[in-house]
Structure 1
Amino acid sequence: MMEFKVLVLLFAFISSSVSQSIRCNYSLRQNTQYMCNLQIQNPDGLNNFTQVEGFHFPGMNNVFVTAILRNTTGSTTRNVPSVLCSQFPHVTYIDLSYLGIEDVDANAFRGCRNLDWLRLYNNRITSLPDNLFMYNRHLNYFDLERNLLTALPENLFANQLALEALDLNNNPIANLPRGIFRNLFNLQFLYLRNLRISAVNPGWFDNLFNLQFLDMADNQITQTIPANAFRGLFSLESIDLAYCNIRTMNAQWFQTMAHLHYVFMHNNFLEHIPSNPFVNSPSINILDFGSNNLAEVSRLAFANMPNLMVLSLENNQISRLRPQWFEEKPNLDSVYLDFNRINSIPVGIFAPLTGLRSMSLWSNRIRTINRNAFGTMQNLWYLDLDDNQINSVDERFLRDAIRLNYFYFYDNVCASAGFFGFANNITNNIRYFDRCIRNFGFVTERTTEAGSNYNFVEGMNPGMHLEVFTQLEARVALTGFNFVWNPMLEIVFNNDTIRIVRNQDTDVAVIPTQRHFRIDAWNYYRITWARQVISVFEANEDFPFIAYTMQDWYPVNFLGLRAQESEAIWTLEPVQLPPPTPGPNSRNKQEV
């Protein structure tokens, strides 16, 4: 019986020895870096190794080893054996990814006084000791992505003045100590993506004067981000706050970021962009606010961005384009406005964008395309107008598209077509827009501007699409075309009712899209009439806001005076819309 017990113990000892092993297969990279390709079997997380096995190159020994790279094939360990740094004291590069590490002892890297680059990516580490890097003053890069950390000690990086890149992505960290980054004066890259942070502490960034890249995407931030949250980030070039549950934007966040190039705030719940949030960041190249709930965007939201190249506002609730958004942006290359509620493109609004190459307005409510909608189109290469309500197109717009390659026009009212190489055969491709071009003869679209005169084409059964934003009541009056104010019909819109005063000489119908008139909000109406003049004006104004006639024997004119209290877009459109003309097949968008 005694002999059997001895055999069992001996077998257990032999099994343990076999399952626990650590060795290096050495290699020389570019004749400069002597590397240990680590093979380790330590499933029990033992730390009693006295020697890393392996055969050195002739003339080499442990002191020449400068890099340790894990060999994931058949390697596993629950900890970081301290023998690595004690046997290779001059190592500067350590990669221990994908090894199943759960525990890191306080002395794990103590012997690696010259450690510069450390990667513990994709392990199972749940915590780190406070003094882990006390002796690693030269640490420049540290990757802890995809572990199970829930918290970090405040003094973890107290001695890491040389640290330039820190990756904490994809850890269940719910909170970070206020002073955890306080000594990282040279930090340039900070990755905090997909943690469980619910609030932003301004103290995190107080001393990060040299930080260039900040990624905080995929955090469910439930508390309002303070106005001074990013006050210390004077050198920041890129900030990512996408998928962060942000509902309110503060214009003060970016005021100290004079070198900012990239801003990503897509997939949040923003409803408004305030005035001048980036006025101190003239170097911005890419601005992404896609997939929010934006309905109101200040006319100065994108002020002072002469270097802007990409503007993304897709998948929002935007119904109106403002000319100020596109002023003084000669380098703007791509604009994405897909999946909004835009129903008109004001004439000339994109004209300042001389470098525009790509414009996407897929799935909006646009009805008319004017010649100057996109300026001279001298560089426009990609245009997506799919799934709108377009019923009229100026032929000159199509003939001006001398460089247009991809042109998507599927699922519109007057035509449904898509083209690859549109500019290569403009004359032939235009025939698919015959009905759109014919309709443009009695459909026109204008935006009111002070001191401007426009000619309106004549048409049958005219209609007006009215959008008005005002703090007072709005009035639409139908009169005889003369210079004596004598309205025969007046329509009053206010917050109490929509009042229509009719007489025997006028045939007018008003169809509101809302049941009531909303003060300080956009209101939408369609007005159709016969043989009359339309004058629109604000209450208590001395002059008509807009006037025109559809009678053949009078000149067709626009007389405008922009009111201080309101902004409006006026559209003439036909009552009956003819069916679309089928067009050619084209490549699927995903293939482009």
Structure 2
Amino acid sequence: MIIKLFFLLFFINSCLGSFNLMCSFDFVDDLCTCRFLIYNPDGSNDYTIGGNPITNCSFNDTIQVISSGKSFNIPSVICDRFPMLEILQMEGLEISTLDPNPFLNCRMLKTLNLGYNNISEIIPYTFMNTKLESLDFHSNSLEKLDPNAFFNLGQLKVLVLQNNPGIILPEKIFDPLLGLVSLNLRDCNLLDKNAGWFGKLKNLTDLNLSVNSFTTIPNYAFRNLTNLVNLDMSVGKITSIASNSFTYNVNLKTLRINNNNLTALGANIFDSLGNLEILSLSMNNFTAVTSNIFKPLVSLRKLSCSGCNIRDIKTEWFETSRNLDSVDLSCNQISHIPVNTFTSINQLKFLYINSNSISNLNSRSFGNLNSLYTLDARDNIIYEIDHYFMNQSTVMKHASFSGNDCAELNTDNFMEDKTNVMQQMTGCFDNFDKIKIELETYNSTLFDWHNIRPNDDWQALRVRIQAAENAHIGLTDSLDRGDPLVEIHIGERDNRDSSIYERGERVLLDNEHRRLNENEMRTFIIGWKFGIVMVYEEAERFPFMAHFIREPFPVNFFGLRTKINTYNSQKKATWNVSRIQGNEMLSLLQFYKQLMNK
């Protein structure tokens, strides 16, 4: 009915030789606003605007005009009728042309939205009398722009040219826009990123170049954009980015280059981006990512590398990114998370490792997870999980393990239902506890650490060692301590002594036998229960060292190292370590019971 009435009024007005637009006054966001419906397919300028003002909102008070309907052009009467007009919304009217000087009397105009129209040309000097701060031409049919299209718009802050796939930009088209802060060139089918476009845009903070067709980013591509904060080049066809592309963009905080065709990143590409907080690299096809690629990103908070064909994680990636709170490594080909990968990140809240080929989760890879809120490990081949890895969580809410070999569960209330969830994961923990380690250690002051699930019962390891001297086993509750709480040294002093140390102090010495042999494996049993530690040689009924721990602690980690008293760092020890369980414990327990009864 309203539409019929509109066309009836339009017909009556056209018969009278003029067109009357009826303004409906209202307050929108506290702004005096005029809304009118227009039907002007022929581009007439012969209009008058009428309407019934309301209190404090008349033609002379109008700040905003919102038009709907259809019009070939923008009638100049709009600017003539509203002398205080600051905001003009003419989106989706099928406007095809801008007449000369349609904004001649819009001297207060600050915001102009002409999105979703059919405009193909911007006549030179069109906006020279305005005070435009925001200009939106998204989703039009703009073609080659005249170099003076934005003449006298030095105060413009926001320019949106998004979704104009036929647009051609002259080299210095943006030179008049000295105050420009945000430029949106998304989906413009740009074949090249012309450095001349940005020569005068020193105040630009936001640049959107996403969904375009250029393939390379050359060195110093954004050299004049020294205040750039957000750069989006996602969903494009980029195959290479030069190592010095971002050298001058030290203020950059967000960089999105996801969904391109990148296969590699230059080793120094992020060297200048110490202030970067968000980096999205997802959906590229990296064949290799160098070890120190993320080292300069000391302020990084969010990293997304989903769907990048990544096979190997480098332990160096996150060493300096201590502020990371979100890491997405989903949908890759990762099979293993190395020791210490995430240990430097204490604020990690969101971790996505779903849809990979990961077989185990080990707390030595993750460190302190007290801040972890969401863990998504779905659709891997996880067979074993370190009990300590899950048990240390204090704030986790979302945990997803469906589609794995040993766990089929998802929960959105992990802490509230922790006991039940941990019970469902018993199979994963049991698999992890079947310790079997084969490795070599070279002369070092550092231990090679491994997890073991703590409990209140007796625990023991069978440790087979081939070494000339100084094979050390450490026991501790936390890797944050540095030195172990208890150290067992076998073959000290050129293989003459063996000792137990508690908190750095030697508390027991054995010097009866040379217990190591560099030409053959020797087997020892290291056993402990809360408050006591004992060391046997295999097949012996009694330990050759036993010590009551003065300050008992739960053993969560054991470490192995070789500390040869020689400058030859190539000297090594070969280790074979397995856990003793079930009936194998019985003979050990006999001596323990005798000791406790004394």
Change (3 A) 1:450 1:431: farther
Q: Provide the residue aligned with 1:170 in structure 2.
A: 163
Question: What SS class does the counterpart of residue 68 from structure 1 fall into?
Answer: strand
8 A Cα contact 1:346 1:446, kept in partner: no
What per-residue deviation string (whole Å, max 9, x for no partner) do you get for residues 297-340 of structure 1? 22222223332211100111111212222123332111100011
Q: Provide the residue aligned with 2:64 in structure 1.
A: 67
Which residue of 131, 137, 141 maps to 1:144?
Answer: 137
Q: Provide the residue aligned with 2:219 in structure 1.
A: 227
Q: Provide the residue aligned with 1:52 in structure 2.
A: 49
Change (3 A) 1:382 1:20: farther
State the aligned residue count: 465
Change (3 A) 1:454 1:135: closer
Which residue of 420, 427, 439 maps to 2:412?
Answer: 420
Q: How far is 1:44 from its partner?
A: 1.6
Equivalences for 1:256-405 in 2 at 5 Å? 256-405=248-397
Question: What SS class does the counterpart of residue 296 from structure 1 fall into?
Answer: coil
Q: Percent identity?
A: 29
Distance in structure 1 (CA, Å) of the matches to 2:411 and 2:214: 44
8 A Cα contact 2:25 2:58, kept in partner: no
Change (3 A) 1:140 1:388: same
What per-residue deviation string (whole Å, max 9, x for no partner) do you get for residues 336-393 of structure 1? 0001111111122211111111111001122222222211211111111112222222
Distance in structure 1 (CA, Å) of the matches to 2:347 and 2:440: 24
Question: What SS class does the counterpart of residue 372 from structure 1 fall into?
Answer: helix
Change (3 A) 1:343 1:447: farther
Change (3 A) 1:316 1:448: farther
What per-residue deviation string (whole Å, max 9, x for no partner) do you get for residues 99-157 of structure 1? 11111112211222222111111111122212212322x21111111111122212111
Change (3 A) 1:425 1:32: closer
What per-residue deviation string (whole Å, max 9, x for no partner) do you get for residues 59-105 of structure 1? 987544443221x2xx2211111222233344222111121111111
Q: Which runs of 5+ in 2 are unaligned?
A: 1-9, 453-464, 470-517, 526-536, 538-558, 565-575, 579-598
Distance in structure 2 (CA, Å) of the matches to 1:359 and 1:115: 47
8 A Cα contact 1:332 1:356, kept in partner: yes
Moved more, 416-425 or 383-392: 416-425
Change (3 A) 1:56 1:401: closer
Amino acid at match of 1:81: P
Amino acid at match of 2:97: D
Change (3 A) 1:58 1:395: closer
Amino acid at match of 2:408: S
Distance in structure 1 (CA, Å) of the matches to 2:563 and 2:263: 32
Change (3 A) 1:139 1:380: same
Change (3 A) 1:442 1:168: same
Q: How far is 1:54 from its partner?
A: 3.0
What per-residue deviation string (whole Å, max 9, x for no partner) do you get for residues 466-518 of structure 1? xxxxxxxxxxxxxx95669xxxxxxxxxxxxxxxxxxxxxxxxxxxxxxxxxx
What per-residue deviation string (whole Å, max 9, x for no partner) do you get for residues 168-226 of structure 1? 1111234311111012111001111111111100011111111111111111224x222
8 A Cα contact 1:368 1:443, kept in partner: no
8 A Cα contact 1:368 1:445, kept in partner: no
Q: Provide the residue aligned with 1:120 in structure 2.
A: 114
Q: Which runs of 5+ in 1 are unaligned?
A: 1-11, 459-479, 485-546, 562-571, 575-592
What per-residue deviation string (whole Å, max 9, x for no partner) do you get for residues 280-306 of structure 1? 232222111111112312222222333
Equivalences for 1:229-244 in 2 at 5 Å? 229-244=221-236
1:25 aligns with 2:23: yes
Distance in structure 2 (CA, Å) of the matches to 1:177 and 1:265: 25
Amino acid at match of 1:101: I
Q: Provide the residue aligned with 1:98 in structure 2.
A: 92
Change (3 A) 1:446 1:355: farther
Which residue of 129, 137, 160 maps to 1:135?
Answer: 129
Change (3 A) 1:91 1:549: farther
Distance in structure 2 (CA, Å) of the matches to 1:419 and 1:13: 65
Which residue of 188, 195, 201 maps to 2:194?
Answer: 201
Which one has the largest radius of gyration?
2
Q: Provide the residue aligned with 1:407 in structure 2.
A: 399
Change (3 A) 1:573 1:332: farther
1:76 aligns with 2:70: yes
Question: What SS class does the counterpart of residue 429 from structure 1 fall into?
Answer: helix
TM-score normalised by L of structure 2: 0.70
Distance in structure 2 (CA, Å) of the matches to 1:573 and 1:390: 22
Distance in structure 2 (CA, Å) of the matches to 1:292 and 1:146: 28
Change (3 A) 1:457 1:550: farther
Amino acid at match of 1:408: S
Question: What SS class does the counterpart of residue 23 from structure 1 fall into?
Answer: strand
Question: What SS class does the counterpart of residue 197 from structure 2 fall into?
Answer: helix
Moved more, 363-372 or 211-220: 363-372
Distance in structure 2 (CA, Å) of the matches to 1:61 and 1:232: 46
8 A Cα contact 2:186 2:211, kept in partner: yes
Distance in structure 2 (CA, Å) of the matches to 1:395 and 1:482: 32
Distance in structure 2 (CA, Å) of the matches to 1:44 and 1:438: 79
Which residue of 431, 440, 447 maps to 1:439?
Answer: 431
Which residue of 454, 461, 481 maps to 2:448?
Answer: 454
Distance in structure 1 (CA, Å) of the matches to 2:24 and 2:404: 66
Distance in structure 2 (CA, Å) of the matches to 1:433 and 1:292: 34
Question: What SS class does the counterpart of residue 312 from structure 2 fall into?
Answer: coil
8 A Cα contact 1:131 1:155, kept in partner: yes
Distance in structure 2 (CA, Å) of the matches to 1:248 and 1:445: 42
TM-score normalised by L of structure 1: 0.71
Amino acid at match of 1:212: T
Question: What SS class does the counterpart of residue 375 from structure 2 fall into?
Answer: strand
